Amino acid sequence: MEHKIYENEEIRNMFTALGVTIGTADDDKALNIEKLRYHKIVIMTDADVDGSHIRTLILTLFFRYMKELIEFGHVYIATPPLYQVKKGKEFRYCWNEDQRDLAVRELAGDGKIENVGVQRYKGLGEMNAEQLWDTTMDPAKRTLKLVTLDGAAEADHVFSMLMGDEVAPRREFIEANARYAKIDI
């Protein structure tokens, strides 16, 4: 079954782009990173629920098949904003609802909050090139989160539980976490 992963064209392209191969002198199943082309691999997905799901899938792939990249600190997660709050020419980027609400109040000042515009980014594609550079790609301004084995292991566990054959653990997880769910429209 594992060989099917390596037969997938997108996965093969990822291995080729990164410069990694399977098999070392000591272990024919280990990831060989001797010719790794990039020492900072950044996973950049949308800031919404769909982006979170895609990020979990990618982290699970890295954890299961390219764990050495995580072990040696090569995998990062980009943190694009979810909102831009603007009044006149002044604006702020916000990564969550609390930051958004605070920015709206601050920009409104003593005025009306109705005069403050809020743009919710549905995805990275809704940002123009300058916004994407300023918030997510500029090394001087961006925030990257280093992926650790603990974080990747948690993503792997959640993915396996939610996508697995056993219904009971999935039901328990949904019931325990349903109150935290927010509808993403």
> Which CATH number fits the domain that encloses residue 58?
3.40.50.670
Same domain, 154 and 166: yes
Interacting residues of 42 by C-beta distance below 8 A, sequence separation 6+:
76, 77, 78, 144
Whether 180 shows a pLDDT value over 70: the answer reads no
User: What tens digit of pLDDT does each residue of 23-70 get?
Assistant: 777 777 778 888 999 999 999 999 887 888 888 888 888 888 888 999
pTM of the complete model: 0.76
Query: For the residues 149-156, what does the mean pLDDT come to?
Result: 74
Contact, 100 vs 40, CB < 8 A?
no
For residue 42, being part of any structural domain is answered with yes
* Cα–Cα distance for residue pair 36/130, rounded to 1 Å: 30
Selected residue with higher pLDDT from 149 and 119: 119
Residue 185 located in a structural domain: no
User: How many separate domains does the chain show?
Assistant: 2
Residue 131: which CATH number?
3.30.1490
Q: State residue 122's pLDDT score.
A: 79
Asked if 76 and 96 sit in the same domain, the reply is no
Instruction: Compute how many other C-beta atoms are within 10 angstroms of the C-beta atom of residue 131.
Output: 19
Enclosing domain of residue 171: 2-80+143-180
